Amino acid sequence: MTLTSGVFSLSSKNTIPIHFFGYYGNYEGTYWPKELHFSGDLSIRQSALFLDFSKRIELCNILVNGIRTNMKETIVHYKNTCEELFNNEVQRNTIQDLMMEEGRLWKKYYLEIDNIVFEPFRLEQRIKHPTLNYGNSLISFLNSLLYAEIVTQCRHVSLNPSISFYHSPTRSRFSLALDISEIFKPAFVSRIFVSLCNRSIIQANEKYFDDDSVVLLNKEGKQIVIKEWEKYMSNTLWSQKLSRNVSHREQIKFELFKLIKHYNGIENYSPFVMR
């Protein structure tokens, strides 16, 4: 793909970020218009919380319980029931133990998702790289779209996406986007995934996938997934707190505002739950 200077000029004038994805559908980077800035004060508060272990582990426990609850709600949405594992509150004293428990939840959760989606798209096992079947390929691309969306919204609200609290910050990724994406993977990604598969919007064949040594969405497949993603992001749900309908895209932004309130000591963070 070739982009002209006019594209970047248009992006800058309208403060529209341009996200780049690699051959495997993974997020590679973003061109940011100069108007989108970080808040220095907020970055300091983000860093201070990360360095204060008691505050950090408290927030991480809240996050993982939000992930667990969204898993439960998604399973119940399709099956009207779920295993007791998803009802048990998580409370751990170290980040490592929390991540181990989260991993256990995800492993069981994807087994439940396999019982919901039609056979060609069953994951069998969640493998990110390389994606060896249709289900893993589709989930990975949807997760990349979610990651890019959260990075964009972080910039809009002046959060520094490289300063996380759950995942360890590293030079090569926006780790705060990884933190927040965990909430929306079961809430948003899983529901789009099931819709794409079970409504035959996309099919497990060469029209939508390149199936060589790894299974990847081709150009037509990506276009269909992006179209459904944008449609879903524009869909609305009723917000009791705001007394109005809120789009799924707005919900991501509001989640970040809640996190800012937590950093500023105004209000404790309470994760979004998709009912």
Q: Is residue 34 scored above 60 in pLDDT? A: no
Q: Which residue, 90, 255, 236, 92, is CA-closest to 159?
A: 255
More confident site: 3 or 202: 202
User: What residue spans define the domains of the chain?
Assistant: 41-263
101-134: pLDDT as tens digits:
999 999 999 999 999 999 999 998 898 877 889 9
Supply φ then ψ for residue 181, to 5 degrees.
-60, -30
In order, the DSSP letters of 152-221 are HHHHHTT--TT--SSSPP-TTS-HHHHHHHHHHIIIIIHHHHHHHHHTTSS-SSTTTEEESSSEEE-HHH
CATH architecture of 41-263: Up-down Bundle (1.20)
CA distance 74 to 273: 10
pLDDT tier, 1 (very low <50, low <70, confident <90, very high otherwise): low
Tokens, residue 208? 């939508």
SS3 content of the chain, % helix, strand, coil (to 5): 55, 10, 35
More confident site: 12 or 64: 64
What pLDDT does residue 162 have?
Answer: 93
